[in-house]
Amino acid sequence: MNGVLIIDKPGGLTSHDVVNRSRRILKERSIGHLGTLDPLATGVLPLVVGNFTRLAQFYTASQKSYEGVIRFGFSTDTYDAEGEPTSPAQAVTVSLDAIRELAGHFRGKIEQVPPPFSAKKIQGVPAYKLARKHKEVSLAPVQVEIKDFEILATDGDCAAFRARVASGTYMRSVAHDMGQRLGCGAHLHSLRRTAVAEFTSADAHTLEEVDAAVRNGDEEDLFVDPRKILPDFPSVTATDEMASRIRTGRTVNLPEFSKARLVKVFYNQRELIAIASRVAGTLFHPKIVLAVSQPAHTI
């Protein structure tokens, strides 16, 4: 079972919880995810299954999109609604114009300190493990990029937003920092991820839907069409001879892709068998091979 499966993660589960449940449902041990979602958050969690786990290396810098709500009036130790308050609660009513103006300071490339309850490591130890033991967590600022950040509406002490960010950006930190700037404290009240790279909510399935599909023998219908994966890479459909060379790790000549760095190699319409990288001129070598079985020949 090889492919990309998009899960609509429910709140309350870690990304690893979703991976474990998917392993049991699909009866497939080799499953990974393309970008952690906090337990509080819901939405798009792409899973790479079987040999497609080798594609994870191409998604380490994937852009992500979110919708959520920031609550003003007090901060928390986790920077979200699941944490303990770290400032006295204040009764506040936020102005749409004021919050939109504030949001403008967070667009573009900014310096951001990751939350203390995060997977960022301090001397090899994840920060959240130290924070849970009430040990001091001192994380250095990192540069992140917030490509779009729109305040959609305000209601009392809450502001609804939509954002598109580069990999490594914490919306929890954005909420916390906005509260610091206003002097009233704030935290991320809710968060839903709507896209990771080319994968969107339209591709997503609940764990219950995946379980039902497996029971009915329809699990293949849940996987993303391989032709839609890594859309920035051009595609080539291999002949039997080309497929044989690619599957065994040998180079092939692709004169139509002289300017491409990486190429998706298909055998027939849906079988993605390799990602090939250009070594010189029009000569390509398989960077990763996803299918090693030989194509059938008619005699």
**Which pLDDT tens digit goes with each residue over 38-78?**
889 999 999 999 999 999 999 999 999 999 999 999 999 99
Strand pairing report for 42-49 and 186-196: parallel
**Is 62 exposed, middle or buried (CB count within 10 Å of its CB: 0-12, 13-18, 19+)?**
middle
Half-sphere exposure in the Cβ direction for 65 (13 Å, CA): 11
Of the two residues 133 and 108, the one the predictor is more confident about is: 108
Of the candidates 183, 186, 158, 179, the residue with the CA atom closest to the CA atom of residue 93: 158
Domains in the chain, ordered, with CATH? 3-61+199-224 (3.30.2350.10), 64-196 (3.30.2350.10), 233-289 (2.30.130.60)
- Quote the pLDDT of residue 1: 82
Q: Active site residue: 38, 80, 157, 177, which one?
A: 38
Match 């959240």 to its residue by tokens.
128
Residue 298 pLDDT grade (very low, low, confident, very high; cuts 50, 70, 90):
very low
d(CA 154, CA 160): 6
Helix (H, G, I), strand (E, B) or coil at 141: coil
Helix (H, G, I), strand (E, B) or coil at 71: strand
Whether the Cβ atoms of residue 172 and residue 60 lie closer than 8 Å to each other: no
**Which pLDDT tens digit goes with each residue over 78-105?**
999 999 999 999 999 999 999 999 999 9
Helix (H, G, I), strand (E, B) or coil at 27: coil
Length of the chain: 299
Is 240 one of the annotated active-site residues of the chain? no
**Which pLDDT tens digit goes with each residue over 228-276?**
999 999 999 999 999 999 999 999 999 888 889 999 999 988 899 999 9
